Amino acid sequence: MRWLLDAGLRRNMGLILALILLGAVGVFTAGDRFADSNNMMTIVRLAAVTGVVSIGATFVITIAGIDLSVGAILALSAVWASTLSGQVFAENTHWIFMVFTAMLIGTLAGLVNGILIAYGKVVAFITTLAMMAAARGLAEIISDKKTQIITVDGFLETIGGDLLGIPVIVLIFIAVSLGGWVLLNRTTFGRRTFAIGGNPEAARLAGVKVERHTMMIYALAGLCAGIGAVMLMARTTTGSATHGTGLELDVIAAVVIGGTLLTGGRGSIFGTVLGVLIFSTLTNIFTLNNLSLSVQLVAKGAIIVIAVLIQRQLAARQSRT
C-alpha cells in the first residue's frame, strides 16, 4: 500500500478529482448538452493541440526553463508548411511533405532557442520572448498577413479525419503523451532532465552535458509545437500567422497545474495531460453556459495563481523534510 501514499500519485489523484468535479458542474449547469458523447469528444479534440505542445513544455519547465515562443513557432510552422508552393509540391509528391515541413521548422526554431540559451548564456525568458516576436513576424511576412487555405485532400482527409471513430488529432495527442511519459520516466534522457532541473551544477559534475541536453530540450519543445501546427492545420484547414496566439499562457498553465515545478527538478506528463483536460473542460462549460471570454481568462488566471501557491507550499514542506 505504500505506493498509494506516494506524493506524485496524491497530486494526480487531486487532479483527477478536480476533473470529476468539473464534470459534475458541467452536468449540473448544462445537462445533456455537456454529458453528450459528442461533446466529450469535442473537449478532447480541442485539448489535443494544447496538449501536444504542453508535453514539450513539460520538459522545458522540468529543467527550470521557460518557453514563451511555442505559440509563435506553431504559427510559423503552420504558415511555412501551407504556402502555395509547399501545397503544390505536396500534391505532386505526397501530403506527408507538409507534415515534415511543419515538424522541421518547429524543431529548428526550438533549436535556435536552445543554442542561444545553452551556449549563448542568454536568459530563457529573453530568448524565447525574442523568438516569439521574430517567429510571429516571419509568419506574417511569409503569409503576407493572409490566411492560407489548405487544399491538399490527402492531408485533410488523413490528419483531419477519424480512425476507428476517433479523431486522428486525438490519437496523435495520445501517442505524443505516451511517448513523452516514456521519455521522461523510463530513459536516461529523462533522468538527466530531472537532474539538471534539480541541480545543474551537480548534474555537470556527475557527467551530464548540461548545455547539449538543454539545447535538445528546447528543440524537443519546438518539435512538439511543429506537431501541434500539423494538428491545427488539419482542424482549421488553414495556415495563419494568428495561429497559436496566446497558446503559451494555456501551455504554461496546464504544465503548472499538472504539478511540474517552475523551479525545476520535478515534472509530470500525466499531470500535464490532466491539466490540459481540466482547462479544456472548464472552457467547454463556460461556452455551454454562454459566459464571456473575459470571465474565462479571469478563471484561468486565478487557477494559475492557486497552483503556484500550492507549489510553494509543497516546496516549503520538502525543504523542511
Query: pLDDT tens digits, residue range 160-173?
Result: 888 888 899 999 99
Q: How many CA atoms lie within 13 A of 294 on its CB side?
A: 0
Could you tell me the pTM of the whole model? 0.89
- Give the C-alpha separation, 84 to 61, whole Å: 36
For residue 283, what pLDDT band results from cuts at 50, 70 and 90? confident
| Stretch 54-61: mean pLDDT | 95
Q: At what angle do helices 124-143 and 70-81 cross, to 10 degrees?
A: 30
pLDDT at residue 104 in the model: 96
Report which of 280, 274, 242, 243 is spatially closest to residue 257, judged by C-alpha positions: 274
Report whether 85 contacts 302 (CB < 8 A). no
Rg (CA), the chain: 20
The percent of residues above 90 in pLDDT, for the chain, comes to: 47
Q: Considering the chain, what is the average pLDDT of its residues?
A: 86
Taking residues 241-260, report their average pLDDT. 88
Confidence of residue 111 (pLDDT cuts 50, 70, 90): very high
- Judged against a pLDDT cut of 80, whether residue 299 lies above it is answered with no
Helix, coil or strand: residue 113 = helix
Q: Evaluate if residue 294 carries a pLDDT over 50.
A: yes
Alpha helices (H) in the chain, listed in sequence order: 7-30, 32-35, 37-62, 70-81, 84-92, 96-118, 124-143, 153-159, 168-185, 188-198, 200-205, 210-236, 247-257, 269-288, 293-320
pLDDT of residue 118: 94
Task: Tell me the pLDDT band of 2, cut-offs 50, 70 and 90.
Answer: very low
If you average pLDDT over residues 226-253, what whole number do you get? 91
Range scoring the smallest mean pLDDT among 179-183, 219-223, 305-309: 305-309
pLDDT digits (tens, 9 = 90+) for 8-46: 555 577 777 778 888 888 888 877 888 788 888 888 988
What percentage of the chain has pLDDT greater than the value 70?
Answer: 92
- pLDDT over 50 at 179, yes or no: yes
Q: What is the identity of the amino acid at 58?
A: T
Using the CB atoms, write b or e for 251-268: b if 16+ within 10 Å.
Answer: bbbbbbbbbbbbebbbbb
